[in-house]
């Protein structure tokens, strides 16, 4: 059994760099390489969607110098990965409140989305400036506006209605959530969508996460009996 949608909390980039007495930038750069590697393997495994938790809304509270570094690396990666992603038939979509991103970063990401829009090999759902609680709040506000505008009856609001207003609308719910770096929490990630996802964690830092780790997660997933609360 292969999951259709794998969501990844890519944790441990800073600790990977610190353990090696390297600049933090090196950890994030290696993290980009790891993501490209995993996308290739995921496509071969016939996974349809990979959601990568790249930058949470809480990450804005990090030192300004680090946030600036992350935004520049994000823009550079978006520009530099276009050709590789196109070759791999990866379709990129964004997930989050992107209006707070620096204009250069936002433009690079928008170009990436446009350039890969017609690819159909695998979807990379990139969660940037993402927070699940805010996402749910945004969905509720959208539905309230529809009700107040006479476009919807309040009694028609169900799980499907909420899901249709989430940032992930149109994507299947994640079947498997992977967290690297040794922590065992969701960190405000896909709280609504991951209600019945299987969880798999590893102490391996994200820059070192490779095909053997992904295969271990997929093997563990295949052995689980999904009950959906029954």
Q: Choose among 172, 230, 157: nearest CA to 50.
A: 172
Nearest residue to 95 via CA among 170, 4, 160: 170
Q: Hey, which residues does 198 pair with through a beta bridge?
A: 176
DSSP H or E run through 124: strand 122-130
How many CB atoms are closer than 10 A to CB 220? 14
Tokens 């102490």 belong to 203
Gap between the Cα atoms of 28 and 19, Å rounded: 14
Query: Over the range 191-212, which residues count as b (16 or more CB within 10 Å of their CB) and which as e?
Result: ebbbeebbbbbbebbbbebeee
Helix (H, G, I), strand (E, B) or coil at 123: strand
Which residues are identified as catalytic?
11, 59
């Amino acid at each position: 059994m292969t999951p259709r949608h794998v969501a990844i909390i890519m944790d441990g980039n800073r600790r990977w760099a610190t353990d090696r007495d390297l600049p933090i930038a090196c950890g994030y750069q290696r993290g980009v390489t790891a993501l490209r590697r995993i996308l290739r393997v995921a496509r071969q495994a016939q996974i349809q969607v990979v959601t990568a938790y790249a930058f949470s809304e809480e990450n804005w509270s990090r030192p300004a110098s680090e946030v600036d570094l992350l935004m520049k690396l994000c823009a550079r990666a978006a520009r530099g990965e276009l050709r590789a992603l196109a070759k791999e038939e990866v379709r990129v979509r964004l997930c989050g409140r992107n209006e707070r991103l620096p204009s250069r970063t936002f433009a690079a990401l928008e170009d990436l989305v446009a350039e890969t829009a017609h690819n159909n090999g695998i979807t990379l759902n990139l969660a940037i400036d993402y927070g699940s609680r805010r996402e749910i709040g945004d969905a509720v506000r959208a539905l309230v506006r529809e009700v107040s505008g006479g476009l919807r009856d309040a009694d028609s609001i169900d799980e499907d209605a909420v899901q249709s207003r989430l940032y992930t609308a149109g994507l299947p719910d994640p079947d498997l959530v992977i967290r690297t770096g040794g922590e065992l929490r969701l960190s405000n990630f896909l709280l609504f969508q991951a209600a019945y996802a299987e969880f798999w964690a590893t102490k391996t830092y994200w820059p070192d996460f490779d095909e053997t780790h992904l295969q271990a997660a997929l093997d563990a997933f295949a052995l689980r009996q999904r009950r959906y609360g029954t």
